[in-house]
Structure 1
């Protein structure tokens, strides 16, 4: 069973729309062949209108159109359900406005997903209403498997689990795994180096000294410094930890992990896990934070993210992480990255 979502490519979307227009095109041909009398024109216009109404209703409630079915595509909302009437109407209006420039306008709108810098192949009209167009022949159909996060699309083998990590041309996928949380893969299966059993070095500058808890319960001042790469390499094999995300997902790890929408290690950076966390609000960067175990402690590093990362204590007090500086995560505290949050158990 497919576990990842695959965004439709530009040529698929164009072909689907062309197939959608076959019936109206036939109506125009019939009118031309029969001489175009008033009765014939009105009949053809009425049938064409009923056809487009039916197509819009079908897409709103099922994500499908005649062209989508033929090509193997589906249109879904931001949570993986049917797009709804409002979204479908706005998308149709956008195409109508683009048709002011015949052929070229609609074509540019349909292939605008080629310039999606978020790597999700969404067109301008998709971003306007928050929809996705997915290839359900190459990937999972969220309408039949419990939405974007799925309800039963769990990997059944190591090879299938490896496919969840973005690598090569898979970096264009939504790459949302089954279950309700992030896709996780050992880095070695995604084409990167697997760390040795000993914890990998903390690949960031050594932070300034850190003290014990302040009045707010967060570290500051003169406590244990971050381990150097040599110290980290010499440390004993760390105990396994569990990342518990705000949606209830639990991910086991024992080494170094990168978390983000589409995390990628830097050149020569050794990590053990890529945790691909879906965030449709776009508050989480592609590679947002690094979490690592060294000398029995958990260290978190913000990767110069746009919206920042914060240590949150049990009273809700937040302390920002300095970009590229690993910080010790005190017991009982959590990490907020963008609009999402996780704790370490």
Structure 2
């Protein structure tokens, strides 16, 4: 028997149908291309540090080598010169420091997206496909392209270093960047791609589907003009405002009860059979329940709180795990909420595989118009997502959310949904 092991294929966000990086996706995340001025500043700082490391070589060894090259001293005199040992030491120091500097810069650039110059100028390098670290081999290939351009002295390096200005996508990617699949971004005026928390939130926000627009339904209110007809009336609603069997326009009007037409002061003949004993009595008593039903409907509609057709509307939080938490009273959410500061609240611990929830993260309580979320000075904060756009709460801040909104607790999210109405 042959066993086949399925390898999970990673889905990379931000690629178009041809598998190319989409600049619009990166812009939606908040990534900004690094400006040419600060890119040049970062390069100048890196080169300046490298030149400083060459000073021992130039000051301690180069003068003696120049004497040997010009014939001022013989090879025997060069080896036996009093400064020969010092020249060797100074040259060794420069070579060793330069080698360490190059390796450290290479590793930092490949694994962290920075060099010393880029860190100072606020520039970071990322892989243009994944928007993550570029990788040490991609960075090495980029350096090799720049070094190989020196085959054409002055002209080659100048063309490579100026190639970012030729980028048709206006992302500032030069020839060496394209070959190495590297993109330089500005972290001073845009999102830092190495801020894992904000990057996760940005990706979730961009991927979140926009909230569906609520369709405005026609009003069921009775028109003020008694002659005017309502614009809309459900099939199960009659003119009295009571839910029941609809009355067809062609059906004859129900006859008025005979007893209702008689004056209240009319004398009663003892010999005349009572209306209750006649067969018409049930027909007279039929409209009574309909009239009596209308009264409670008006009383319930006037009661305070969000209600629909005589029932209180309940809201709940539907977590990203599918779990639903009804919010009928104040609740505290977190890894292990402490209700000491909120005696009337109920502690609701949440699973936290991402380790982004605080012990007591947020207080959720029902208010008029929806739910109120209050941040409890959490480490990774709270946010309100409305229409696909997130608004982050200040530490200790609060906001009101309604049905259709979503909230963020650390890296966990929850939708505000309606649950089964509560009978009043």
| Bigger RCO of structures 1 and 2 (CA < 8 A, at least 6 apart) | 1
Structure holding more helix per residue: 2
**Is the pair's TM-score, using the shorter chain for normalization, greater than 0.5?**
no
TM range (shorter): 0.3 to 0.5
Q: Which has the larger radius of gyration?
A: 2
